[in-house]
């Protein structure tokens, strides 16, 4: 909530005047008061620790061992029962945390990076009168990528690069960057006429240095929120691609477990389905809450909406 | 006039880009069908013949230009695997997909608008918090989980067992309702969170405008305020969202729903075409979606200019 004083001030000095107090301290203190956001942070941290445990070989290592019977119920040996092949569902669910973070981090980091760079370039070279070829072609590329039905495109990329373990990641990175790109472009167009940018141009810094050292750090609030949203989108898309048979290879993921379960549930075996759904839901909820809290903390104008 | 011309050129460039990328991806790097079409022990000349029939021996530009001509004359050729004309496949599958997706699409948007209005209107109260909380929850559930869950709960002996498990044998209204209910509910549930959040933000933005405050000061009742002032003035973002999501929901959404429930619509046909390398179908689906998408973009822009003189 804005105080009456801030309201009057914001009328006198609209928007930009408050940029100076957009410091880290204020963001963090706002984040700390956001209970839902903290819950999100806790959930994400727990899952991150879990995935590190898998990465270092402490957890979930028995995911592919088929030492149980088909569809065993819960027991001391197999905490959440076994699947069709007699593999331990608990182990598989835990191991999948690592898969989820691999996909989520790779896709969200790279797509955000790509969006930041191309968006900043487009915004920098935008002349408002139109006609600059850099801005024009980046905009055109975004328009083209957004006009192709998403799943069809991802499926086609994943299929064209089939057999290559990163096909799915590439498909998602190539499509996910456009949203970040548009937002960064708009923000760069806004800040490129501000004092610090003009002065760095005046002292003759080369464009890449200005963009990377001075302009992009000021879009960090967009990048953080977009990255956490891309993480959610990546994991959700992995589920769909796994169901369509284009997902991870030689590994296990919650999407693969759900795809397996589509046949099992009709025969009344729900352990695979419930376990994977639960893990997936909690992690996505955590990331969504975190993304919301970040958005609120960074962007008071949006937050008051 | 200049703006319209500019839009059309812009649209044509977009169509060129989309067709080029999809052509590269799905045709040039797509699966090679030569060896699925001829049997074992083919001679070199037989192989050459099949490749010639499939146009595989033509240079890239030639094949791409042929594709553009096919697209604009709507002469889309015949499917490689079944031999059926692509036009007749589209005529057969498109109505199925529309009948399958439209109810969920419409109800999902209407519910989203209603919930968004309630949340925006009671911003900050417990009902707003409940609605936004449920939206975030809905956004965190995977499409596949919703489909499997609803199928188990509604169509199997483990749940209510009211509807057929899968398939699409529609003859009359009651069989249509039987087959369409579970997919429709899934589509509503999966889109409702996103829709509600989007519409809530739109309505809150609109109700913070000065003219709403003025209307309130003049004593307009809450209902008139919401209905006449906020909703009507938000029609531009609402129509944009709906227009732009139609092609994407119909193609992308039906891809998953139809594959899951085994429904012979356009989504299933295009997915099968990706995996089997049936290029004529793929080229038609992607190309036509792109064209429709660009046409919608031009049309929306044009309508705005007619409706809202502020846009220039």
Which domain CATH number covers B190?
Answer: 1.10.3720.10
- The answer to the question of residue B285 being in a domain is no
Q: Which pLDDT score is estimated for A231?
A: 93
Both B270 and B138 in one domain: the answer is: yes
With a pLDDT cut of 70, the percent of chain B lying above it is 93
Place of tokens 């490129």: A192
pLDDT digits (tens, 9 = 90+) for B225-276: 877 788 888 888 888 888 878 777 777 788 889 989 999 998 888 888 877 7
Q: Which pLDDT score is estimated for A138?
A: 92
Q: Is A269 left (phi over 0), alpha (psi -120 to 50) or beta?
A: beta
Residue A241 in tokens: 């691609």
Both B60 and B115 in one domain: the answer is: no
Distances (CA, A) of B164 to B65, B97, B259, B260: 46, 18, 16, 13
- If one counts every other C-beta atom within 10 angstroms of the C-beta of residue A12, the result is 7
Q: CB–CB of A240 and B144 under 8 A?
A: yes
Both B188 and B253 in one domain: the answer is: yes
What is the extent of the structural domain holding A38? 20-63+78-302
Q: Distance (Å, rounded) from C-alpha B132 to C-alpha B200? A: 9
Contacts of B174 (CB under 8 A, 6+ apart): none
A-B C-beta contacts closer than 8 Å: 138
Least confident of A110-119, A163-172, B20-29, B64-73: B20-29
Which domain CATH number covers A95?
Answer: 1.10.3720.10
Residue B106 clears pLDDT 90, i.e. is over it: yes
- The answer to the question of residue A71 being in a domain is no
- The answer to the question of residue A173 being in a domain is yes
Residue B100 clears pLDDT 60, i.e. is over it: yes
- The answer to the question of residue A7 being in a domain is no
Would you say B252 and A150 are in contact if contact means Cβ atoms under 8 Å apart? yes
Tell me how many domains chain B contains.
2
Q: Which pLDDT score is estimated for A106?
A: 95
**Residue (of B135, B94, B96, B138) closest to B116 by Cα position:** B135
Q: Distance (Å, rounded) from C-alpha A296 to C-alpha A242? A: 33
- The answer to the question of residue B296 being in a domain is no
Domain stop point among B14, B44, B73: B73
Residue A181 clears pLDDT 90, i.e. is over it: yes
B31, with CB counted inside 10 A (0-12, 13-18, 19+), is: middle
**Residue (of B91, B262, B92, B130) closest to B183 by Cα position:** B262
pLDDT digits (tens, 9 = 90+) for B275-312: 777 878 877 887 888 788 788 877 877 777 776 666 55
Contacts of B73 (CB under 8 A, 6+ apart): none
Q: Which pLDDT score is estimated for A226?
A: 92
- The answer to the question of residue B291 being in a domain is no
**Contact residues, chain B, for A269 at CB < 8 Å:** none
Both B119 and B194 in one domain: the answer is: yes
Question: A interface toward B at CB cutoff 8 Å?
Answer: 140-141, 143-145, 147-153, 155-157, 159-161, 232, 236, 239-240, 243-245, 255, 258-259, 261-262, 265-266, 268, 270, 273, 277, 280-281, 284-285, 287-289, 292, 305
Both B21 and B133 in one domain: the answer is: no
Q: Distance (Å, rounded) from C-alpha B300 to C-alpha B312? A: 14
Q: Distance (Å, rounded) from C-alpha B251 to C-alpha B97? A: 8
Residue A119 sits at the vertex; the CA angle it makes with A118 and A123, to the nearest 5 degrees, is 120
- The answer to the question of residue A124 being in a domain is yes
Q: Which pLDDT score is estimated for A78?
A: 75
Distances (CA, A) of B190 to B27, B129, B201: 32, 20, 19
- The answer to the question of residue B272 being in a domain is yes
pLDDT tier, B185 (very low <50, low <70, confident <90, very high otherwise): very high
Q: Which pLDDT score is estimated for A130?
A: 60
Would you say A100 and A276 are in contact if contact means Cβ atoms under 8 Å apart? no
Distances (CA, A) of A78 to A47, A89, A94, B304: 21, 7, 13, 61
Residue A167 sits at the vertex; the CA angle it makes with A116 and B21, to the nearest 5 degrees, is 70
What is the extent of the structural domain holding B115? 94-277
What is the least distance, in Å, from the CA of B170 to any CA of chain A? 23
pLDDT digits (tens, 9 = 90+) for A13-70: 444 434 444 556 677 787 778 888 899 999 999 999 999 998 888 877 777 777 777 7
Both B9 and B60 in one domain: the answer is: yes
- The answer to the question of residue A1 being in a domain is no
- The answer to the question of residue A195 being in a domain is yes
**Contact residues, chain A, for B289 at CB < 8 Å:** 147-149, 152
- The answer to the question of residue A8 being in a domain is no
Both B38 and B164 in one domain: the answer is: no
Contacts of B271 (CB under 8 A, 6+ apart): A152, A155, A244, B255, B258, B259
- The answer to the question of residue A3 being in a domain is no
pLDDT digits (tens, 9 = 90+) for A189-225: 888 888 888 888 889 889 888 998 889 988 888 899 8
With a pLDDT cut of 90, the percent of chain B lying above it is 25
Q: Is A144 left (phi over 0), alpha (psi -120 to 50) or beta?
A: alpha
Tell me how many domains chain A contains.
1
Would you say A246 and A171 are in contact if contact means Cβ atoms under 8 Å apart? no
- The answer to the question of residue B209 being in a domain is yes
- The answer to the question of residue B27 being in a domain is yes
Residue B135 clears pLDDT 90, i.e. is over it: yes
pLDDT digits (tens, 9 = 90+) for B4-53: 787 788 888 888 888 888 788 777 776 666 666 666 677 777 777 777 77
- Give the SS3 label for residue A60: coil
Both B200 and B240 in one domain: the answer is: yes
Q: CB–CB of B143 and A240 under 8 A?
A: yes
Residue B76 in tokens: 């889309």
What is the least distance, in Å, from the CA of A305 to any CA of chain B? 6
């Amino acid at each position: 909530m804005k105080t009456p004083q801030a309201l009057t001030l914001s009328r006198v000095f609209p928007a930009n005047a408050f940029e100076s107090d957009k410091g880290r301290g204020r963001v963090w203190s706002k984040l700390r008061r956001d209970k839902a956001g903290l819950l999100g942070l806790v959930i994400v941290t727990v899952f991150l620790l879990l995935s590190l445990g898998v990465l270092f070989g402490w957890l979930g290592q028995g995911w592919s061992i088929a030492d149980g019977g088909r569809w065993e119920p819960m027991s001391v040996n197999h905490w959440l029962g076994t699947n069709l092949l007699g593999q331990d569902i608990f182990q598989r669910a835990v191991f999948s945390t690592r898969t989820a973070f691999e996909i989520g981090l790779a896709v969200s980091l790279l797509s955000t990076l790509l969006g930041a760079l191309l968006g900043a370039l487009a915004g920098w070279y935008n002349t408002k009168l139109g006609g600059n070829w850099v801005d024009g072609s980046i905009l055109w590329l975004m328009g083209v990528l957004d006009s192709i039905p998403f799943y069809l495109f991802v499926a086609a990329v994943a299929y064209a690069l089939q057999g290559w373990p990163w096909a799915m990641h590439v498909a998602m990175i190539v499509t996910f960057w456009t949203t970040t790109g548009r937002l960064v472009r708009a923000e760069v167009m806004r800040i490129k006429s501000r004092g610090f940018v003009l002065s760095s141009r005046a002292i003759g810094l080369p464009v890449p240095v200005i963009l990377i050292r001075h302009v992009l750090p000021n879009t960090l609030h967009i990048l953080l929120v977009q990255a956490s949203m891309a993480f959610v989108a990546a994991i959700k898309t992995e589920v769909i691609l796994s169901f369509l048979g284009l997902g991870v290879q030689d590994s296990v993921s919650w999407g693969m477990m759900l795809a397996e379960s589509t046949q099992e549930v009709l025969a009344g075996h729900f352990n695979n389905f419930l376990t994977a759904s639960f893990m997936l839901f909690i992690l996505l909820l955590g990331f969504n809450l975190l993304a919301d809290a970040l958005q609120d903390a960074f962007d008071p104008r949006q937050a008051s909406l | 006039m200049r703006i319209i011309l500019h839009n059309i050129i812009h649209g044509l460039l977009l169509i060129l880009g989309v067709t080029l990328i999809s052509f590269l991806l799905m045709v040039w790097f797509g699966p090679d069908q030569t060896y699925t079409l001829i049997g074992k022990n083919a001679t070199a000349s037989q192989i050459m013949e099949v490749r010639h029939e499939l146009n595989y021996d033509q240079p890239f530009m030639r094949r791409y230009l042929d594709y553009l001509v096919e697209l604009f004359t709507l002469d889309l050729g015949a499917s490689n695997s079944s031999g059926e004309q692509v036009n007749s496949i589209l005529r057969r599958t498109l109505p199925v997909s529309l009948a399958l997706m439209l109810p969920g699409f419409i109800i999902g948007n209407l519910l989203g608008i209603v919930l968004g209005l309630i949340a925006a209107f009671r911003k900050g109260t417990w009902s707003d918090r409940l609605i936004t909380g449920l939206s975030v929850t809905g956004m965190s559930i995977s499409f596949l989980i919703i489909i499997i869950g609803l199928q188990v709960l509604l169509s199997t002996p483990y749940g209510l067992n009211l509807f057929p498990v899968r398939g699409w044998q529609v003859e009359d209204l009651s069989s249509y309702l039987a087959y369409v209910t579970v997919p429709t509910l899934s589509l509503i549930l999966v889109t409702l969170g996103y829709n509600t959040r989007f519409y809530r933000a739109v309505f809150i933005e609109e109700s913070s405008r000065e003219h709403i405050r003025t209307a309130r000061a003049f004593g307009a009742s809450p209902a008139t305020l919401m209905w006449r002032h906020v909703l009507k003035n938000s029609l531009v973002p609402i129509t944009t969202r709906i227009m732009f999501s139609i092609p994407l929901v119909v193609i992308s959404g039906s891809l998953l729903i139809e594959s899951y429930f085994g429904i012979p619509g356009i989504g299933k046909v295009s997915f099968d075409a990706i995996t089997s390398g049936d290029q004529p179908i793929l080229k038609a689906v992607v190309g036509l979606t792109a064209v429709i998408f660009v046409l919608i973009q031009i049309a929306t822009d044009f309508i705005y200019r007619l409706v809202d003189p502020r846009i220039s």
